C-alpha cells in the first residue's frame, strides 16, 4: 500500500474527513477537481462553472491529533503522554516520538477551524443542472468544507523502530502566535512534514452519483450498503454526502 493511501485511509477512518496529500497542499472552498491515486487534483473552481456560493466560517478553534493504534509512543518533556493526544508542547520543550511498526502515523494540527459552503441545497440544484446539461462530469468533485490549521505536523514511519525528536522553539512566536516546532533528530521516518501557515490538512468533497432510472443525484459515496432510510428520504430526488478517494480507486 502506498504512503498516501495508508495516511489518507487512517485519517478518514478516524475523523470522517479526507486528508490532503501532500499534507501541505492548500485547498479552498469551491475547488473543483478529481480524487485520483489518493490525491486531489485541482482543475478549477465553481466560478468556472458560473456557480456562486456563500461561506460559513467557524467561531471555534481547537487541536486535532491522531496516532496509529499500538504503533506510536510519545514523550513530552521527558514524560510519557497519552498515545491518543492531543499533545501540549510548551515553548522550549522537547517531544520524542517512537514508532514500533512500519507505516505508523502521527498527526497533529493546531489552531484548527472549520469553513464550509453555506447553502448546500442551492449548490445541489446548480450542480445537478450542470450534470443534466452534460457540463459536469461524474468523476468531478467539489470541496465543500475545509479544516484550516495554523500549524501541522505529519510523521509516517518508514520501518519498525523509527523515531524522531522535535523541540518547540522559544522566543518570538511563529505564524498565528503558535510556537513553531523544529526537528532535531530522526531515524527511519519516511514522511516528515512540519508546516506553518494557512494549512488545510482535512477536507470534505461532494460528487455526482447516478441512480438507475432516476435523474442524477449528489449522493453520499460510502463503502458498503447504505443505511436504512425512511420512505420520505427514499423518495427525495437528491441528497448530500461525502466523496472520498476510495470511491475513485
- 58: containing domain: 3-248
Instruction: Show the CA angle centred on residue 58, arms to residues 14 and 219, nearest 5°.
Output: 55
Rounded Cα–Cα distance for residues 93 and 195 (Å): 18
Give the DSSP H/E element, type plus range, for residue 186.
strand 181-187
Q: Which of 244, 249, 247 is closest to 20 using CA atoms? A: 244
Using one digit for the tens of pLDDT, what is the confidence trace for 107-132? 999 999 999 999 999 998 899 899 88
Q: What is the CA radius of gyration of the chain?
A: 20
Q: Is the pLDDT of residue 106 over 70?
A: yes
Residue 145 confidence (pLDDT): 97
Using one digit for the tens of pLDDT, what is the confidence trace for 50-100? 999 999 988 888 999 999 988 899 898 877 776 666 787 777 888 899 999
Q: Is the pLDDT of residue 213 over 50?
A: no
* Helix intervals (H) in 92-209: 120-132
- Show Cβ contacts of residue 212 under 8 Å, excluding neighbours closer than 6 positions: none
Residue 227 confidence (pLDDT): 52
Q: Which of 114, 186, 110 is closest to 153 using CA atoms? A: 110
In total, how many domains does the chain have? 1
Using one digit for the tens of pLDDT, what is the confidence trace for 148-190? 999 899 999 988 788 999 888 775 554 444 567 888 888 889 8
Residue 212 confidence (pLDDT): 44
Residue 238 confidence (pLDDT): 43
Residue 83 confidence (pLDDT): 66
Query: Burial of 174 by CB count in 10 Å (0-12 exposed, 13-18 middle, 19+ buried)?
Result: middle
Amino acid at each position: 500500500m502506498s504512503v498516501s493511501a495508508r495516511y489518507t485511509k487512517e485519517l478518514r477512518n478516524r475523523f470522517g474527513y479526507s486528508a490532503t496529500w501532500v499534507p501541505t497542499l492548500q485547498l479552498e472552498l469551491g475547488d473543483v477537481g478529481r480524487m485520483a491515486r489518493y490525491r486531489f487534483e485541482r482543475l478549477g473552481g465553481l466560478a468556472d462553472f458560473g456557480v456562486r456560493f456563500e461561506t460559513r466560517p467557524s467561531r471555534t478553534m481547537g487541536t486535532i491529533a491522531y496516532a496509529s493504534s499500538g504503533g506510536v509512543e510519545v514523550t513530552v518533556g521527558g514524560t510519557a503522554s497519552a498515545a491518543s493526544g492531543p499533545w501540549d508542547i510548551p515553548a522550549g520543550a522537547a517531544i520524542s516520538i517512537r514508532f514500533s511498526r512500519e507505516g505508523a502515523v502521527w498527526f497533529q494540527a493546531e489552531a484548527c477551524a472549520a469553513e464550509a459552503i453555506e447553502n448546500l441545497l442551492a449548490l445541489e440544484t446548480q450542480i445537478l443542472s450542470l450534470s443534466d446539461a452534460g457540463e459536469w462530469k461524474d468523476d468531478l468533485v467539489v470541496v465543500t468544507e475545509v479544516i484550516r490549521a495554523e500549524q501541522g505536523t505529519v510523521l509516517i514511519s518508514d520501518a519498525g523502530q523509527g523515531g524522531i525528536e522535535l523541540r518547540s522553539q522559544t522566543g518570538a512566536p511563529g505564524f498565528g502566535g503558535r510556537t513553531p516546532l523544529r526537528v532535531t533528530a530522526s531515524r527511519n521516518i519516511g514522511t516528515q512534514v512540519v508546516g506553518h501557515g494557512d494549512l488545510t490538512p482535512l477536507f470534505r468533497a461532494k460528487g455526482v452519483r447516478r441512480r438507475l432510472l432516476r435523474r442524477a443525484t449528489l449522493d453520499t459515496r460510502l463503502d458498503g450498503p447504505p443505511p436504512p432510510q425512511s420512505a420520505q428520504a427514499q423518495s427525495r430526488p437528491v441528497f448530500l454526502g461525502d466523496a472520498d478517494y476510495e470511491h475513485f480507486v
